[in-house]
Structure 1
Amino acid sequence: MDTAGFVEAVEDGNRTELSRLGSSKSLYALTGGELDADHVYAVVETLANAQADRYEPWADEADGELADVLTAAADAERERAADAAGETDESVEGGLFDGLDDCEGTAEWAAGLVAATIVTKKLQEQLVGFFVGQADPTTASTFRSYGDELGERREAALAALETVCADESEWETAVDAAGGVVTAAYDVYVDRLEAMGVNPKPVC
């Protein structure tokens, strides 16, 4: 397997989950139905800190290219969290990236980073749409730039993944780990919507 095959396996194996995470219901779920700018910024803060909290200890244990990619991702998400915190006094429930806690070892760490980046890209697209709808083109543009950053992060993470997967077994382990991250995020999405009496299945 190579990086293209890895991405194909993860996306094909989680097509429905990723589609629904990229739907207009995602922000509704993550804000607990409070779909206003304060709560949306709280989502950004919470998700960014959750990622940084995972990547930092991984970076401390990893070496070489993977350590560099994880450090850069952690620093960027920590900065994003701080920026968002300056825009809101609200808080929201976390948990979307709890699947990262199950990643162990370099192949799974790299795979988890790729998966989290794929999930975050889906949410980033909804953030752009939200702020466009709020007639806030400046913030919408900021989150468009975040999408570019996520694309670069994914490519860097994939390059690092290629350096740590020594055989087909490790590639398969990486695919399973990435799928677990996506599934955990989707489970949170479903649980939050169902708790509010909303059907999570139809894609908006």
Structure 2
Amino acid sequence: MDAEATIDAVRDQTETERDRLGSDKVLIAATDATLESEAVLTAAATRESGIADIFGRWAAETDSDVATQFEAAAEAAMERANRIDADAGDPDGFIDHQKTVTGTARRVGAGLVAAPLVADRFYLQVVSFFINEADERQADAFREIREEASALDHGVTALEHLSEAERETAAVAATDAIGAAYDDYAETLEAMGLDPKPIC
């Protein structure tokens, strides 16, 4: 299983979770039902700042070619956080999960594969929010942020530095991380009395 096949396998394993993480309820969970521009900006800044901190630490702790990919991803996330121009809040369950991940292969999966896949769904709703707010400037800004945050280039390169067995480990870790993001989302909504499952 090469790098691209590894990512495809993660996509297949997490299709349901990622679909639900891209629903319009994701911002309700992320903002504690405070659907206002400032709260949405804070949620976005929290994610990018959290990812930047974690990837930066992983880069310092990694003694392989993968360290370069963690470092580049950390710098990109911090640059996005600065562009969002909002104070970060308390980390969510996805960021908390990332803090527990150990081992280079698992970190590649949880960080450089899962994080972009989760970001793609989250920022889809951030863009939609600002479109509904008739704030085209912010909508355009978050279209760019979504494209950058969901890019899997660092993940592909990092996976190519791993053995096939390590890529399998990375795929499991990515699936677990996306599961953690979904569990946090679902538990947050359920605590509000909302059903995380889509209404058919």
Q: What TM-score results when the alignment is normalised by the length of structure 1?
A: 0.89
2:129 aligns with: 130
Look up the match of 2:184: 188
**1:28 is the counterpart of 2:2:** no
Q: Secondary structure at the match of 1:97?
A: helix
Using the aligned pairs only, state the percent identity: 38
Moved more, 99-108 or 118-127: 99-108
Instruction: Quote the residue 2:104 is aligned against.
Output: 106
C-alpha distance after superposition, 1:2-56 (max 9, x if no partner):
1222112111111111100011110111101111101001101111121112101
User: One-letter code of the match for 1:176?
Assistant: V
| Residue type at the aligned position of 1:58 | W
- Tell me how far apart the structure 2 counterparts of residues 102 and 92 of structure 1 sit (CA, whole Å): 16
Query: What 5-or-longer segments of structure 2 have no aligned partner?
Result: none
Residue identity in the other structure for 2:35: L
Deviation at 1:103?
2.4
Q: How many angstroms does 1:96 deviate by? A: 2.4
Matches within 5 A, 1:1-204: 1-63=1-63, 65-84=65-84, 86-87=85-86, 91=89, 94-112=92-110, 113-152=112-151, 154-163=152-161, 165-167=162-164, 169-202=165-198
Q: Contact 2:114/2:175 (CA < 8 Å) preserved in 1?
A: yes
Alignment-mate amino acid for residue 180 of structure 2: A
Q: Is the 8 A contact 1:32 1:92 kept in 2?
A: no
Partner Cα distance (1:76, 1:8) in 2? 24
Asked whether the equivalents of residues 48 and 81 of structure 1 are also in contact (C-alpha less than 8 Å), the reply is yes
Work out the CA distance in 2 between the residues paired with 1:93 and 1:58: 17
Matched-pair contact (CA < 8 Å) for 1:110–1:160: yes
Residues 69 and 157 in structure 2, CA contact (< 8 A), matched pair in contact too: no
What are the Cα deviations for residues 70-90 of structure 1, in whole angstroms up to 9, with x where unaligned?
Answer: 112212222333343x446x8
DSSP 3-state at the match of 2:23: coil
Amino acid at match of 2:175: G
Which deviates more, 31-40 or 104-113? 104-113
CA drift at 1:98: 2.3
Structure-2-length-normalised TM-score: 0.90
8 Å CA contact 1:97, 1:181 repeated in 2:
no
Q: 1:10, 1:178 within 8 Å by CA — same for their partners in 2?
A: yes
3-state SS in 2 of match to 1:24: coil
Contact 1:98/1:185 (CA < 8 Å) preserved in 2? no
- Contact 2:108 2:158 (C-alpha < 8 Å) held by counterparts: yes
Task: State the secondary structure of the residue aligned to 2:142.
Answer: helix
Aligned residue pairs, count: 199
Q: Distance in 2 between matches of 1:193 and 1:55?
A: 28
Give the direction of change, closer, same or farther, for the CA distance of 1:87–1:50 in structure 2 (3 Å limit): closer
> Distance between the aligned counterparts of 1:149 and 1:174, measured in 2?
21
Cα distance between partner residues in 1 of 2:155 and 2:68 = 10
